[in-house]
């Protein structure tokens, strides 16, 4: 159901929605709609598809049982939203649960609390957690070899390349002809963005997927107490007929990080492996990658030192 409200409202429907978001388990609910739902599907690569909808007249829910850690943050009206997000993450609350609660304005200084669009809350949480971990990772030693991690899901292929250099990050994705975000019958579409050791201050052009994948690779580096230059390469093939949201990017990259990496002595060897797995020629990726071009340049310079 759809419900129009001010982002700072605290009426019955908003409070019940917040209860659902803070609940530890799914909550049975019943909606009364003011008119017949329209037949439509709203799709985005950042959130799950939305089906038929109509204005919401009333909402009721069964008893809900809040997650105790979420409840603690909700009632602490002096705790900043960023601090609440990091606290919950460290207490092993799923990122998706934190994002839902964040979107309902459940955290932060009381006077600043407000509703946040779902896709903004997803990116905000991924970004906050990523930045927190990143500052730790930058203090760790660099990895000793070139690594390749891999994952395939929903006709998406992920190749994650780690280079033994100081922390920097790039996310690149290509959409095949005939996919939802590329209606061209013949040409690939490439989206990419990157950041150096200093981080970034502007929103990534590639969107929420950038931050979801960054969080996943940083989690592994923090666990290993290492840093690296990381490049995430993604091919979205025609079988990916309906985007399901950035969560699948985060979980795909996490899945890759859980696997045993392939290790190589040189960048060329690592890229040969990546080339075997991806269908788009490796030269296309290199030509469009800020960090790969930079890595080759640095390698040539160190040859003369």
Domain boundaries, the chain: 12-116, 146-302
Q: What is the pLDDT of residue 39?
A: 66
- pLDDT tens column, 142-182: 999 999 999 998 889 999 999 999 999 999 998 877 666 66
How far apart CA 234 and CA 174 sit, in angstroms, is 6
Confidence of residue 1 (pLDDT cuts 50, 70, 90): low
- pLDDT tens column, 199-252: 998 999 888 999 999 999 999 999 999 999 999 999 988 777 666 778 889 999
List, in sequence order, the alpha helices (H) in the chain.
Answer: 12-22, 68-75, 81-90, 95-103, 118-137, 208-224, 247-258, 267-277, 282-288, 290-302
What is the number of other CB atoms lying within 10 angstroms of the CB of residue 133? 20
Q: What is the pLDDT of residue 272?
A: 96
Q: What is the pLDDT of residue 224?
A: 97
């Amino acid at each position: 159901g759809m419900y129009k409200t001010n982002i700072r409202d605290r009426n019955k429907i908003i409070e019940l929605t917040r209860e659902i978001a803070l609940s530890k388990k799914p909550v049975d609910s019943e909606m009364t709609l003011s008119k017949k739902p329209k037949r439509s599907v709203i799709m985005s690569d950042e959130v799950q598809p939305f089906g038929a909808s109509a204005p919401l007249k009333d909402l009721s829910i069964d008893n809900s049982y809040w997650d105790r850690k979420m409840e603690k943050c909700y009632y602490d009206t002096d705790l900043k939203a960023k601090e609440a997000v990091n606290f919950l993450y460290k207490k092993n609350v799923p990122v998706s649960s934190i994002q839902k609660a964040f979107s309902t304005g459940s955290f932060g200084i009381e006077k600043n609390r407000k509703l946040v669009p779902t896709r903004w809350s997803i990116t905000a949480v991924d970004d906050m957690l990523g930045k927190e971990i990143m500052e730790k990772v930058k203090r760790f030693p660099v990895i000793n070899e070139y690594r390749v991690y891999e994952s395939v899901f929903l006709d998406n292929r992920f190749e994650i390349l780690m280079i033994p250099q100081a922390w920097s990050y790039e996310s690149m994705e290509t959409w095949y002809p005939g996919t939802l975000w590329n209606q061209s019958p013949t040409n690939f579409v490439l989206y990419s963005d990157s950041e150096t050791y200093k981080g970034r201050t502007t929103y990534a052009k590639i969107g929420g997927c950038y931050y979801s994948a960054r969080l996943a690779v940083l989690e592994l580096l923090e666990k290993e107490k290492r840093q690296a230059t990381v490049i995430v390469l993604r091919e979205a093939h025609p079988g990916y007929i309906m985007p399901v949201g950035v969560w699948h990017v985060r979980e795909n990259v996490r899945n890759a990080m859980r696997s045993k990496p392939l290790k190589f002595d040189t960048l060329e060897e690592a890229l040969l492996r990546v080339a075997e797995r991806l269908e788009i020629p490796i030269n296309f990726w290199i030509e469009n990658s800020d960090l790969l071009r930079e890595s080759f340049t640095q390698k040539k310079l160190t040859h003369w030192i």
